[in-house]
Amino acid sequence: MKEYLTALQSIDRDALKAKAQVARELAGDYAQQAKAVAGSYAQQARAAAGEYAREARSRASQAAAAHAPRAEAFAENAKSAVRSLARDAQGDICDFWSFAAERMRGFSLFDIAVFKIVLVSFGLWLGAWLAAKFSKLTEKFRPVFFAMFLCGYIYLIYRIFFKDNE
């Protein structure tokens, strides 16, 4: 009986091995089929993606071509607006300088002296401010130079814009 059981166990083992071998072969076949199907789907997806990309490029170029005239017109309008603003600014600056020159024609000797002091004090103040080691003397008098400049500048603004000689 013992031999009979051993023989049955041996047959069961051989049957299990055969079943396992068949299962491995089937799994390999299924894997090959799945791989082939996946490759085919991948090729279809690549083809579709390429087609969609071509269509998107085509639509983008058509949209760019459609918007190009509007963009060029906008750029031309912007150029003309900037030119117009530049002409207006140039006219305003010319008007300001004409006004200032007209007002300066009536300057007295005292007004010219104050103007010169303003320019010199501004130059000294700026020089003392820009150069850290300019001079110990000018460094100490920097607030005085600035005060001279500020007082003279305020006077000239008053004289040019607010005081009428007439």
Q: From residue 140, how far is each of 88, 122, 123 by CA, in Å?
A: 45, 15, 15
pLDDT of residue 125: 79
Distance separating alpha carbons of residues 44 and 95, to the nearest angstrom: 74
Nearest to 118 by CA among 72, 162, 158, 71: 158
Structural contact between residues 86 and 107, judged by C-beta atoms closer than 8 angstroms: no
Phi and psi at 138, nearest 5°, equal -70, -30
Whether the model clears a pTM of 0.85, i.e. scores above it, the answer is no
pLDDT digits (tens, 9 = 90+) for 59-118: 878 877 878 888 888 888 888 888 999 999 999 999 988 988 888 888 888 988 988 888
pLDDT digits (tens, 9 = 90+) for 139-161: 777 788 888 889 988 998 888 88
Residue 133 has pLDDT above 70, yes or no: no
* Contacts of residue 149, Cβ cutoff 8 Å, sequence gap at least 6: 118, 121, 122, 125
Domain segments of the chain as ranges: 106-166
User: Residue 136: in which H helix or E strand, if any?
Assistant: helix 136-140
pLDDT of residue 47: 83
